[in-house]
Amino acid sequence: MQPEFNFELVEFNIEQDAGAFERYRYVIPVLDIEGGALIYPPHTAHELHQALFEARQRMNEDQSLA
């Protein structure tokens, strides 16, 4: 999906943050797509594609308002 949406993947190790570890340790991997809700497992390709599509729409709307 990278070629279609041109996103940056940032990996965050929850073991390096006690608060994040406490919050997410039983539900990893959690996906946080900027401007959207967190996506908890199990992830599907369709769900991820939809979230990326919606994020791109929000970004385009924000740019058109500026």
Tens-digit pLDDT profile for residues 15-64: 999 999 999 999 999 999 987 888 999 999 999 999 999 999 988 888 88
Residue 61: what pLDDT? 86
**φ and ψ at 64, to 5 degrees?**
-75, -25
- pLDDT for the residue 1: 93
The residue type of 34 is E
